[in-house]
């Protein structure tokens, strides 16, 4: 695999280093878990970073006990995805703000990972933690190369490529499906990793949506229920067009599941050839 055109940093090997930054343990899993699994299969070093510990995300549990449970769930999900690391910072769920000390946490994490690619949330979202996680990622862009910012951690030599994960919010501006990845090959792996987040997939999220009573009791039955719940959405017209761009019409029509990404204007602006190095699964069957 050639990585010379995309590698922003100097590494001792040819691995491309990717870090995904989001608000809660399970955000990245839902939005880009299939792509992360494919990246790992292609040899990229992939890290998930949750900026909060998830200690408010439940209707019966909370605080330190819930944070400990969710950290364990994230660790198990990382194993199932096959990614390198899943780190959960100890900031409170529901209280994330775009403050300087948290921005510096993000800057340090990106630098310590020696990231070539940073993937985060857009600051368009229903949840304030999601919005502010997006702002924090944006604010870290460029600053990761400034030596006098967070000077206790050596700066990156070049600004990475920054990307956004998909969302469905239209205002103030809709999501742009710049890269669309077909994930059918790893959809079972994604569902299996989501299954590791028991507190969310089988308790909190069904409670919020009012269908907790529909969650089956048996492990096999509830995983089947989870798969149907998270794979029932049809591809949008924009996703279908993106698949056709990157895979060609014939291959694009074979996909039932996809994940999309938008290029952030604040980082290095990649060419299509560079994007194919970041996403080596594009256009192929692997």
How far is 202 from 50, CA to CA, in rounded Å? 20
Q: What strands, in cross-sheet order, belong to the sheet with 85-88? A: 85-88, 45-50, 17-22, 117-120, 161-165, 258-263, 179-182
Question: So what's the pLDDT on residue 104?
Answer: 98
Task: Name the pLDDT band for 166 (thresholds 50, 70, 90).
Answer: very high
Pick the CATH number of 17-278 from 2.30.30.830, 1.10.357.10, 3.30.43.10, 3.40.50.10320: 3.40.50.10320
Can you say how many angstroms the Cα of residue 77 is from the centroid of all Cα atoms in its chain? 13
**For the chain, what are the domain ranges?**
17-278
> What average pLDDT is seen over the chain?
94
Q: What is the pLDDT averaged over residues 225-229?
A: 94
Number of neighbours of residue 186 by Cβ within 10 angstroms: 24
Return the exposure string of 63-84: e unless at least 16 CB atoms fall within 10 Å of the residue's CB, then b.
Answer: eeebbebbbebbebbbebbbbb
At 232 the pLDDT is 78
% of the chain exceeding 90 in pLDDT: 92
Closest CA to 106 of 131, 71, 139, 76: 139
- pLDDT at res. 12: 62
Quickly state the pLDDT bin for 284 (edges 50, 70, 90).
low
Task: Note the pLDDT tens digit of each residue in 57-107.
Answer: 999 999 999 999 999 999 999 999 999 999 999 999 999 999 999 999 999
pLDDT of residue 6: 59
Q: Which residues pair with 260 in a beta bridge?
A: 180
Q: Is residue 3 pLDDT above 80, yes or no?
A: no
For residue 5, pLDDT beyond 60:
no
- Report whether pLDDT(129) > 70: yes
Cα distance between residue 202 and residue 217, in whole Å: 10
Cα(161)–Cα(265) distance, integer angstroms: 9
Q: Residue 231's pLDDT is what?
A: 83
- Mean pLDDT to the nearest integer, 152-171: 96
Q: What is the pLDDT of residue 1?
A: 36
Cβ atoms of 178 and 261 within 8 Å: the answer is yes
Q: Is the pLDDT of residue 286 over 70?
A: no
Averaged pLDDT, 232-236: 88
Q: What are the phi and psi torsion angles at 5 (to 5°)?
A: -80, -15
Could you report the per-residue pLDDT of 195-215, keeping only the tens digit for each?
Answer: 999 999 999 999 999 999 999
**Alpha-carbon distance 136 to 145, whole Å?**
15
Given this model, what pLDDT does residue 9 score?
Answer: 75
Query: What local confidence, expressed as pLDDT, does residue 283 receive?
Result: 73
Of the pLDDT bands very low, low, confident and very high (cuts 50, 70, 90), residue 142 is very high
**Looking at the predicted structure, is the pLDDT value of residue 145 above 90?**
yes
Task: Tell me how far apart the alpha carbons of residues 247 and 64 are, in angstroms, rounded to a whole number.
Answer: 45
């Amino acid at each position: 695999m050639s990585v010379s055109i995309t590698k922003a940093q100097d590494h001792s090997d040819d691995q491309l280093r990717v870090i995904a930054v989001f608000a809660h343990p399970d955000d990245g899993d839902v939005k880009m878990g299939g792509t992360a699994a494919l990246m790992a299969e292609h040899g990229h070093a992939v890290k998930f970073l949750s900026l909060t510990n998830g200690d408010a995300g439940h209707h019966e549990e909370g605080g330190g006990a819930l944070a400990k449970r969710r950290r364990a769930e994230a660790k198990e999900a990382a194993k199932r995805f096959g990614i390198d690391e899943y780190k959960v910072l100890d900031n409170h769920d529901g209280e994330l703000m775009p403050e300087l000390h948290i921005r510096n946490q993000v800057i340090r994490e990106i630098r310590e990972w020696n990231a070539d690619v940073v993937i985060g949330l857009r600051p368009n979202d229903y949840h304030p933690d999601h919005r502010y996680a997006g702002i924090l990622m944006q604010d870290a862009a460029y600053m990761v190369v400034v030596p006098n910012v967070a000077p206790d951690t050596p700066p990156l030599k070049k600004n990475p490529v920054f990307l956004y994960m998909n969302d469905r919010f239209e205002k103030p501006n809709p999501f742009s499906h710049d890269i669309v990845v077909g994930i059918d090959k790893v959809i079972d792996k994604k569902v299996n990793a989501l299954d590791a987040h028991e507190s969310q997939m089988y308790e909190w999220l069904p409670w919020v949506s009012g269908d907790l009573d529909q969650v089956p009791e048996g492990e096999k039955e509830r995983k089947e229920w989870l798969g149907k719940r998270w794979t029932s959405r049809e591809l949008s017209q924009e996703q279908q067009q993106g698949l056709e761009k990157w895979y060609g019409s014939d291959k694009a029509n074979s996909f039932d599941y996809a994940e999309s990404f938008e290029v952030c204007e604040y980082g290095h602006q990649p060419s299509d050839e560079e994007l194919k190095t970041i996403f080596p699964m594009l256009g192929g069957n692997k």
